Chain A
Amino acid sequence: GESVGLHLPTLSVQEGDNSIINCAYSNSASDYFIWYKQESGKGPQFIIDIRSNMDKRQGQRVTVLLNKTVKHLSLQIAATQPGDSAVYFCAENIVKTGANNLFFGTGTRLTVIP
């Protein structure tokens, strides 16, 4: 599969602080990127997405930044809460055989310290 890697496998932050999770991707043809949150034993939950023609997108407490020059993606979570503790995956979308295919990174485990 395609290579989408994360710089840090684990991240611990104090409750109320901001979190930044980074991701590097390798395929220049990727046109769409998504961040997912996965809690233990559950399927991934969509957080926020960004298309390749954008460099920033904001949601509720979350911001995704895309730097296509260095093929880097980041997820910023403002005022991190205990409920944010989970594994976060970035994924890049690559079109193959007429289908959109998501390729995931290995994930970063975010632990929020109360």
Chain B
Amino acid sequence: SQTIHQWPATLVQPVGSPLSLECTVEGTSNPNLYWYRQAAGRGLQLLFYSVGIGQISSEVPQNLSASRPQDRQFILSSKKLLLSDSGFYLCAWTGINYGYTFGSGTRLTVV
């Protein structure tokens, strides 16, 4: 069966520090991968999606970047975090029959 792993679960980082959040999917190949962000009390905003290794599409301009070094690995990064980067970050994947599945999320607090 397919599983999605996302870590860490919580993270507190100072302003200006770098960020790296990792997401991996098991049990499938060539998934579409997504990063979403959810601000407190708000809906989910699509940040990045990827249809294959090295292919990244960005939905909104921001202080973040994404990379897909391997088929089932999706990384969200920042060189210098801002206070406004705080939020709940969710990784998701879809297969051929839609079937969006979300990871458990990372709660990032920038202080």
For residue B41, give the distance in angstroms from its CB to the closest CB of chain A. 8
Whether A43 contacts B100 in the complex (CB less than 8 A), given A1-B45, A97-B57, A106-B42, comes out as no
Chain A interface mostly: strand
Interface readout for A8-44 with B: 1 if CB under 8 Å, 0 if not? 0000000000000000000000001010000001111
Chain B interface mostly: strand
Determine if B90 and A44 form an interchain contact, defined as CB atoms under 8 angstroms apart.
yes
Determine if A1 and B59 form an interchain contact, defined as CB atoms under 8 angstroms apart.
yes
Check: A100 CB closer than 8 A to any chain B CB. yes
Determine if B98 and A32 form an interchain contact, defined as CB atoms under 8 angstroms apart.
yes
Whether A97 contacts B51 in the complex (CB less than 8 A), given A43-B102, A44-B102, A49-B98, comes out as yes
Spell out B's residues near A (CB within 8 Å). Answer: 32, 34, 36, 42-46, 49-51, 57, 59-60, 90, 92, 94, 98, 100-105, 107
Given contacts A1-B46, A99-B94, A104-B45, 8 further A-B contacts (CB under 8 A): A1-B59, A96-B57, A98-B51, A99-B32, A99-B49, A100-B100, A101-B46, A102-B46
Spell out A's residues near B (CB within 8 Å). Answer: 1, 4, 32, 34, 41-46, 49, 89, 91, 93, 96-107
